[in-house]
């Protein structure tokens, strides 16, 4: 009965979302047929199979060090990676080619979940951060498959929702075998909304391990040359920006300083380009020479933000000036760049607080003022960058600890009720 009610409610929500998304974007969703649970994975030769699931690109990337840690045990465990969104699936397919098979996560109807679980046959499931679907969790519970929520965090809005609907949240969260949290504060939140303390643990954030310290500057040099960036003038890179931020950054940009904007969502590229008519766009190909009048650039391609960060004298990490959850500062910090973020960073609260506490990152409602001071005082800028890089190195190792928890869970497989 509960499953039938959820199927009806979920179907209604799915239709409503599709209508709203079509109105908002003008695009018709075409990927639903790939989420029917009809997937194929190679046999495991008797090894237990672990499914690692991430919603989209961010979670897929955050899972990389964990996938690497588990595949180092390939003699005793087989790994399959899944993603919900089309972009997440594409990223996972590219990133884990030759390492682990990648499949699309099913829609949360009972029949699609059952088909998916029949095909994959996992002995353990790992969910990244906070991807909890009632139908999928019930399906795993019926089969006695342990489900671990790893790299777990909880935003203020999610905590409020779980607290208000505690009866429903307890029913949902009881399906989790273990919640592996990024910090003690997140563990306390999960316990407050109904997860027993013996089913929680703290190992740190996988985001620290996702950072690969590298001095590879070849691609960055090519980006600067083809984009027309003047290497003799300071460059500020604003990464993963959101609505309302780019205009403020352009307005506050100091004279003589170059600004490269990298909006997080591709559908906003044209909108941002209109803020400064004629600004060079990466998608338009190589720019002729270094025009001194060009001082604002638009990175409207995917996969080049790391190279842009390598060119930066200072970095702003976006979606943080206006409440949008914030973006991950660790890539810029791990590249040894002095980094500033706005005051709204709830999605990366523990990481940002750790970096800010040791002086490895600055939180400010006026990031351009902070970066202007850094450009005027190189010693201060270098000190912030050095402290941030040291913090990244000090906090790595979470993936190995999380992998140990996952491997231990495979020995505990108890069938349960719905």
Mark whether 280 and 403 lie in a shared domain: no
Q: SS3 of 356, please?
A: helix
Mark whether 240 and 337 lie in a shared domain: yes
The reply to whether 416 falls in a domain is: no
User: Over the stretch 51-61, which tens digit does the pLDDT of each residue have?
Assistant: 999 988 888 98
The CATH number of the domain where 101 resides is what?
A: 3.40.50.11720
Neighbours of 315 (CB within 10 A): 28
Mark whether 320 and 364 lie in a shared domain: yes
The CATH number of the domain where 384 resides is what?
A: 3.40.50.2000
Q: Give the contacts of 157 (CB within 8 A, at least 6 positions apart).
A: none
Instruction: Find the Cα–Cα–Cα–Cα dihedral 333, 259, 87, 208, rounded to 10°.
Output: 0
Q: State the catalytic residues.
A: 59
- Residue 364, pLDDT score: 98
The reply to whether 112 falls in a domain is: yes
- Percent of the chain residues topping a pLDDT of 70: 90
Structure tokens belonging to residue 331: 């890539």
Give the range among 192-196, 214-218, 338-342, 403-407 with minimum mean pLDDT. 214-218
Looking at the predicted structure, is the pLDDT value of residue 414 above 50? no
Mark whether 335 and 206 lie in a shared domain: no
The reply to whether 418 falls in a domain is: no
Mark whether 10 and 65 lie in a shared domain: no
* Band (417; pLDDT cuts 50, 70, 90): very low
Tell me the C-alpha distance between 117 and 110, whole Å: 11
Mark whether 170 and 37 lie in a shared domain: yes
Looking at the predicted structure, is the pLDDT value of residue 20 above 70? no
Instruction: Find the Cα–Cα–Cα–Cα dihedral 18, 19, 22, 24, rounded to 10°.
Output: -110
pLDDT greater at residue 31 or residue 348: 348
Task: For residue 24, give its domain range.
Answer: 1-30
Mark whether 297 and 154 lie in a shared domain: no
Looking at the predicted structure, is the pLDDT value of residue 416 above 50? no
The reply to whether 101 falls in a domain is: yes
Looking at the predicted structure, is the pLDDT value of residue 362 above 90? yes
The average pLDDT across 287-311 equals 84
Mark whether 243 and 309 lie in a shared domain: yes
The reply to whether 415 falls in a domain is: no
The average pLDDT across 93-108 equals 93
The reply to whether 417 falls in a domain is: no
The average pLDDT across 192-213 equals 90
Look over the chain and give the mean of its residue pLDDT values, rounded to a whole number.
89
Looking at the predicted structure, is the pLDDT value of residue 76 above 90? no
* DSSP bridge pairs for 52: 81, 126
Looking at the predicted structure, is the pLDDT value of residue 182 above 80? yes
Mark whether 240 and 362 lie in a shared domain: yes
Mark whether 65 and 24 lie in a shared domain: no
Helix, strand, coil tally for the chain in percent (to 5)? 45, 15, 40
Looking at the predicted structure, is the pLDDT value of residue 400 above 50? yes
Give the range among 77-91, 156-170, 283-297 with minimum mean pLDDT. 283-297
Looking at the predicted structure, is the pLDDT value of residue 168 above 90? no
Buried b (16+ CB within 10 A) or exposed e, 76-106: ebbbbbbbbbeebbebbeebbeeebbbbbbb
The average pLDDT across 190-204 equals 94
The reply to whether 359 falls in a domain is: yes
- Residue 30, pLDDT score: 54
Looking at the predicted structure, is the pLDDT value of residue 412 above 70? no
Q: How many domains does the chain have?
A: 3
- Residue 23, pLDDT score: 62
- Residue 8, pLDDT score: 78
Mark whether 240 and 191 lie in a shared domain: no
Looking at the predicted structure, is the pLDDT value of residue 28 above 90? no
The reply to whether 414 falls in a domain is: no
- Residue 166, pLDDT score: 86
Give the range among 26-35, 191-200, 322-331, 392-401 with minimum mean pLDDT. 26-35
Tell me the C-alpha distance between 308 and 223, whole Å: 7
User: Over the stretch 218-267, which tens digit does the pLDDT of each residue have?
Assistant: 889 999 999 999 999 999 999 999 999 999 999 999 999 999 999 999 99
Mark whether 58 and 197 lie in a shared domain: yes
């Amino acid at each position: 009965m509960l499953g039938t009610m959820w199927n009806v409610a979920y179907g209604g929500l799915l239709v409503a979302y599709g209508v709203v998304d079509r109105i908002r974007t003008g695009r018709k969703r075409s990927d639903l047929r790939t989420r029917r649970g009809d997937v194929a994975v190679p046999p495991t030769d008797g090894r237990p199979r672990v499914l690692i699931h991430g919603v989209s690109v961010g979670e897929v990337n955050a899972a990389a060090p964990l996938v690497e840690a588990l595949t180092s045990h390939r003699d005793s465990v087989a790994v399959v990676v899944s993603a919900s969104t089309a972009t997440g699936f594409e990223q996972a397919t590219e990133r884990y080619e030759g390492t682990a098979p990648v499949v699309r996560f099913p829609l949360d109807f009972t029949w699609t979940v059952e088909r998916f679980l029949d095909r994959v046959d996992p002995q353990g499931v790992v969910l990244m951060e906070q991807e909890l679907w009632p139908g999928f969790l019930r399906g795993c519970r019926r089969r006695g498959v342990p489900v671990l929520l790893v790299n777990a965090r909880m935003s203020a809005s999610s905590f409020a929702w779980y607290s208000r609907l505690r009866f429903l949240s307890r029913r949902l969260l009881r399906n989790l075998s273990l919640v592996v949290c990024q910090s003690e504060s997140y563990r306390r939140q999960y316990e407050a909304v109904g997860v027993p303390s013996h089913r929680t643990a703290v190992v740190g954030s996988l985001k620290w391990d996702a950072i690969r310290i590298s001095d590879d500057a070849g691609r960055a040099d090519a980006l600067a040359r083809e984009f027309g960036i003047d290497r003799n003038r300071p460059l500020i890179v604003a990464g993963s920006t959101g609505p309302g931020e780019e205009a403020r950054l352009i307005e506050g940009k100091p004279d003589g300083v170059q600004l490269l904007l990298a909006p997080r969502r591709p559908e906003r590229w044209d909108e941002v380009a209109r803020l400064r008519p004629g600004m060079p766009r990466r998608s338009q190909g190589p720019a002729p020479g270094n025009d001194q009048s060009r001082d604002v650039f638009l990175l409207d391609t995917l996969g080049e933000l790391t190279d842009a960060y390598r060119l930066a004298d200072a970095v702003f990490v976006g979606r943080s000036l206006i409440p949008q959850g914030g973006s991950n500062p660790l890539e810029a910090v791990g590249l040894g760049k002095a980094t500033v973020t706005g005051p709204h960073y709830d999605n990366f609260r523990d990481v940002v607080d750790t970096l800010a506490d040791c002086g490895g990152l600055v939180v400010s409602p006026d990031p351009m003022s902070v970066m202007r001071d850094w450009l005027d005082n190189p010693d201060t800028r270098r000190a912030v960058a050095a402290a941030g890089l040291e913090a990244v190195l000090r906090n790595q190792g979470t993936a190995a600890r999380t992998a140990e928890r996952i491997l231990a869970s495979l020995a505990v497989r108890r069938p349960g009720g719905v």
